[in-house]
Structure 1
């Protein structure tokens, strides 16, 4: 068995993380748009992620330190020497927080099979992503047939032995979405079928249209719909104002406000100033 397989894959991935940190910003520096609400962020975990990995010789949780000496948790698997791999990694239950559509952003590295010495044709360069909706937050086992496949994930860039020597991290980012969720939450799962992968980070989020004030009408935080349809939202007049025409706007699937209709006007004795009504 080659030396890089004999317990060396954890070291191989850890070796590359020093260059990764500059690209991810570490676990403490991640900022996201105002219209995204994070449900899970593996890079913000304060302890072990504790995801379910089966069989035991498949996915392995490893930890490296970022530039602030904060542990970063990641999962890796590299069983490329044996055929018929079927290694599963499943998150804990993720409450959907009222969202009908969620987005999954994964950052990962994947080894180029052609760069692995002595590896037979069993090596793969893709892995699969699934989910399972459930109202039960404490499931300890889910049958493979119960999962719904999200997609097969391939790397835009894979790394080679030369990259390992140069400590070059070829980080891939992929985003997928799940629509029309209806149960309390869901489980996310990754299936390895014989690749050499490190899941650097997993982030799950949904989009909202943030609270805004327009035409003296206040529109609250609004979760986007489960598909591409617009969500109509009725605004409420700010203090000391009244409806001139019923204020409405539409929340788009991308988390932006569209098509303002109607407005409020200041009551008698008040004038508009910077989105508010002030006594004149």
Structure 2
């Protein structure tokens, strides 16, 4: 990977970080898991090829405290390779790693500086002997402000600070970092290796546990009092930010959204269906006995007609029809007329039930329903 590719990767990382901070303020910040830092070590004792081509010294180069710094300064040409000790990945590997590297290099007579090459050697256990590497270099770096050969030590302005250099996904339990340089003099001031984690996150009733950056689609779970419409999934990006939600969770009946969770409807409100909508106040003449109602019950003395929707209010029985009139049409038929009740009980429509009861005149017997011989016919009202 050349310098252009490295700069592009860093730019993409910075741009994604800026977008996440600017747009998705609700998403928690990524969590960094540091694997190794030379600044926190007292001694390194890394392997050098040829022997003693790299020397370890303690100094404050690039830091406020003394720490191990490696230098490769020689009048002889040819590559000098430095291999780090074995760095454990933790959790059996599988992380997408990033490297922060600070170095300074001496300028050269030619217009083209010799590159600092960076390698990675994965292994499940420490490697004792390193053969001449056939690894393809992952990174190829040059300092934009090299120090002059007359300087005893590089100045702060000569330090080339590289952050977030991508090392890709590493699957084994650990690794060694390799550095190779063929120029006159170079100082490796600090080396830091780390990866990002996406923190636990709840959004749109879908809950996701902490995950390693660079994971493939991570499966989530619907929060309490919600139901899965389609499986919730999302990617944990290498920079520790969650990608967009795939799938859907919706609140159960009797529950509504509240800060990404599903909470019970308060007393006096209800929600009859699965969905993201909110709870509604009880319609007229109805109530709930507590929280989490899927419908409101009619108050005493009120009722609903079968087939009425839950959002419709309850009504009481209408008053009796007014001005009931009977007209004898013939020996075998009667005409019955009436005016609508004065009080419809809160409804826009009223149904009438006409029944026939009979008894023999002066028989003193109880009234009985009329037999099948009696028939009813309805005519349109005038």
TM-score by length of 1: 0.69
Does the Cα contact within 8 Å between 1:217 and 1:264 map onto a contact in 2? yes
| In 2, Cα distance between equivalents of 1:232 and 1:251 | 7
Higher share in helix: 1
Q: Pick the aligned partner of 1:94 from 61, 73, 87.
A: 87
Alignment gaps of 5+ in structure 1 = 1-32, 115-120
Which entry has the higher C-alpha Rg, 1 or 2? 2
Shift of 1:110: 0.9
3-state SS of the aligned residue for 1:144? coil
Query: Aligned in 2, Cα 1:67/1:168: closer, same or farther, shift over 3 Å?
Result: closer
Deviation at 1:172, TM superposition (A): 0.9
Q: What RMSD in Å do the two structures reach over aligned CA positions?
A: 3.3
8 A contact 1:99–1:206 mirrored in 2: no
Tell whether the 8 Å contact from 2:207 to 2:220 is kept in structure 1 after alignment: yes
Structure 1 window deviating more from structure 2 (58-67 vs 99-108): it is 58-67
- TM-superposed deviation, 1:199: 0.7
> Deviation of residue 162 (structure 1)?
8.0
Separation in 2 of the partners of 1:68 and 1:192?
23
**1:15-65: CA deviations, max 9, x gaps?**
xxxxxxxxxxxxxxxxxx7244322222232x2123223434321112125
Give the alignment of 1:189-268 within 5 angstroms: 189-225=178-214, 231-267=216-252
Q: May I ask how many residue pairs the two structures share in their alignment?
A: 233
Distance 1:66 1:152 in 2: 22
Structure-1 separation of matches of 2:55 and 2:168: 30
The answer to which structure has the higher strand fraction is 1
The whole-number CA distance in structure 2 between the counterparts of 1:131 and 1:149 is 8
**1:82 is aligned to 2:71:** no
Give the secondary-structure state (helix, strand or coil) at the position aligned to 2:231: strand
TM-score, normalization by structure 2: 0.52
Q: CA deviation at 1:193?
A: 1.8
Structure 2, unaligned runs of 5 or more:
1-28, 267-382
Q: Residues of 1 paired with 2:60 and 2:139: CA distance?
A: 31
Secondary structure of the corresponding residue to residue 44 of structure 2: coil
Distance 1:35 1:155, change over 3 A: same
